[in-house]
């Protein structure tokens, strides 16, 4: 169970995340949506403690995550795996080694430096790759894989942490629709079969609706919607993305139709990430 209370992060005068309060029960699959700059990544990064809150508290299972230091902080970052839009693999290392790197937080510094992975860890890594359907790539340099395959390697690496929570920051934003579906199906499977809480930033409405039991909508650092997909009405969508923005439900990750109004809006607003384009 996550409990966020008045979590705020300033960058200079900018409030990237502004007094965010919500709870997430263990095992939920949550999508966070909002236009570019709404604070989605900052929120996820604070949960993982890649960024510290300016004020407010984040608790997980009764432990205050926001004040952890040293080994307790490293343990938290092991329990709370994170995957990114750009995969963050080591391209010249083979896939298997990349996946094994997910064990680093479980091991002593000496065995980490010597790169001594146990037979059990190697079997576990192959198992994770099999689960993601990419075991045949195990000995290839990670940088030679397609984007969809690389994201699956990143998920396999995250699984090696045996996390309680999986955070995903726009995991499908660089992928074509087929690979986007494969990656989202994998996240759903991990959520349903392993009971791991998944919190994922998404900028395609249809993906959030299809995969997430709960959607949190952010605008200018604040939570402006928190509910089930069925409650995400046109009015709620307008509040999240701004009433000035032509948002249509047809603008989905699998749609290649880009309304002219959106193209104009995209040109007019440098910070705006077009929903229809983003998932392609």
The site for ligand ATP (CB under 6 A) is made up of: 11, 14, 16, 34, 36-42, 203, 273
Does 191 engage in binding with Mg ion (CB under 5 A)? Answer: no
**Minimal distance, residue 12 CB to ligand ATP, in Å:** 7
- Write the binding mask 32 to 61 for Mg ion: x where contact by CB under 5 A, - elsewhere: --------xx--------------------
How far apart CA 59 and CA 45 sit, in angstroms, is 14
Shortest separation between residue 121's beta carbon and ligand ATP, angstroms? 33
- Min dist. Cβ of residue 111 to ligand ATP (A): 34
Alpha-carbon gap, residue 146 to 64, rounded angstroms: 39
Q: Answer with the entry of ligand ATP, Mg ion, none that 42 interacts with (C-beta below 5 to 8 A by kind).
A: ligand ATP
Q: How many residues bind Mg ion (CB under 5 A)?
A: 2
2 half-sphere exposure, CB direction, 13 A CA radius? 30
Minimum Å gap between C-beta 204 and ligand ATP is: 11
DSSP 8-state assignment for residue 245: S
Min dist CB 169 to ligand ATP, Å, is: 7
Q: Binding partner of residue 130 among ligand ATP, Mg ion, none, CB under 5 to 8 Å per kind?
A: none
Nearer to ligand ATP, 129 or 205 (CB): 205
Q: Tell me whether strands 29-33 and 14-24 are parallel, antiparallel or unpaired.
A: unpaired
User: Do residues 143 and 154 lie in contact, with contact meaning Cβ atoms separated by under 8 Å?
Assistant: no
Distance CA 41, CA 273 (A): 14
E strands within the chain?
2-11, 14-24, 29-33, 55-60, 63-64, 80-84, 165-169, 197-201, 214-219, 222-227
36 makes contact, choosing from ligand ATP, Mg ion, none, with CB < 5 to 8 Å by partner type, with: ligand ATP
CB 201 within 8 A of CB 32: yes
Q: How many other CB atoms are there within 10 angstroms of residue 257's CB atom?
A: 10
Contacts with Mg ion by CB under 5 A lie at: 40-41
């Amino acid at each position: 169970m996550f409990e966020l209370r008045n979590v705020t992060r300033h960058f200079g005068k900018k409030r990237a995340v502004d007094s965010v309060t919500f709870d997430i029960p263990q095992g939920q699959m949550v999508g966070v949506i909002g236009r570019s700059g709404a604070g989605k990544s900052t929120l996820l990064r604070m949960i993982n403690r890649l960024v510290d809150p300016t004020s407010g508290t984040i608790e997980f299972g009764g432990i205050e995550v926001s004040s952890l230091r040293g080994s307790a902080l490293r343990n938290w970052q092991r329990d709370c795996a994170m995957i990114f839009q750009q995969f963050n693999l080591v391209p010249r290392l083979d896939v298997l080694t990349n996946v094994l790197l997910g064990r680093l937080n479980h091991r002593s510094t000496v065995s980490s430096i010597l790169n001594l992975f146990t037979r059990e860890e190697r079997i576990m890594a192959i198992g994770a790759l099999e689960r993601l359907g990419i075991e045949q790539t195990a000995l290839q340099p990670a940088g030679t894989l397609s984007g969809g395959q690389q994201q699956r390697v990143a998920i396999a690496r995250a699984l090696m942490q045996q996390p309680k929570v999986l955070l995903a920051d726009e995991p499908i934003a660089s992928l074509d629709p087929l690979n986007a579906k494969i990656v989202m199906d994998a996240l759903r499977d991990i959520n349903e079969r392993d009971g791991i809480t998944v919190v994922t930033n998404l900028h395609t409405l249809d993906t959030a609706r299809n995969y997430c039991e709960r959607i949190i909508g952010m605008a200018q650092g604040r939570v402006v919607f928190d509910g089930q997909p069925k409650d995400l009405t046109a009015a709620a969508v307008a509040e999240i993305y701004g009433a000035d923005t032509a948002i249509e439900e047809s603008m989905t990750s699998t749609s290649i139709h880009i309304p002219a109004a959106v193209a104009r809006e995209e040109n007019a607003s440098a910070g705006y990430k077009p929903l229809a384009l983003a998932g392609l």
